[in-house]
């Protein structure tokens, strides 16, 4: 799962971690700009949306997110941090022209962003999940 991200917003650089309850991530708007949205939900936070920072792609396809009216978005980050199966973290640069897929979930006036993740295809993969990365 994605545990940290680095991005630029309004000329400033940010490095955020999901463990911070105030963490936000930028998403591409229809007009081509970026808007900050709260990243996931922690157990200490009020609300009705799911706990966690990620949405598994197979659960999206299975319809488990349908009740929160999911909207696919592009997350505008330059790098992300992953934690491997042994608990070690590592930063990965996202090449220019590539995006991390996100999902915006809604419940009444609550709106949160989740990183869409997939399971690595390799049997000897170091990570249980990986952000879904795609080209523009």
Q: What is the pTM of this model?
A: 0.92
Would you say residue 87 has pLDDT above 70? Answer: yes
Smallest Cα–Cα separation from 133: which of 83, 96, 86? 96
DSSP conformation class of 39: B
> What is the rounded average pLDDT of the residues 65-94?
93
Phi, psi of 67 (to 5 degrees): -70, -10
The rounded mean pLDDT for the chain is 91
| pLDDT of amino acid 46 | 94
User: Which helix (H) or strand (E) segment is 57 a member of?
Assistant: helix 57-61
**Could you give the count of Cα atoms lying within 13 Å of 11 in the half-sphere of its Cβ?**
0
């Amino acid at each position: 799962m994605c545990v940290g991200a680095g991005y630029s917003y309004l000329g400033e650089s940010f490095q955020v971690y999901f463990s911070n309850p105030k963490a936000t991530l930028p998403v591409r708007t229809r007009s081509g700009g970026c808007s900050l949205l709260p990243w996931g939900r922690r157990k200490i936070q009020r609300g009705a949306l799911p706990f966690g920072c990620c949405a598994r792609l197979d659960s999206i396809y299975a319809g488990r997110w349908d009740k929160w009216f999911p909207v696919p978005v592009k997350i505008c980050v330059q790098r992300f941090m992953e934690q491997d199966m042994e608990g070690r973290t590592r930063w990965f640069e996202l090449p220019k022209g590539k995006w991390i897929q996100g999902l915006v979930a809604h419940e009444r006036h609550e709106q949160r962003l989740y990183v869409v993740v997939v399971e690595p295809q390799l049997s000897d993969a170091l990570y249980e999940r990986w952000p879904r990365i795609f080209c523009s």
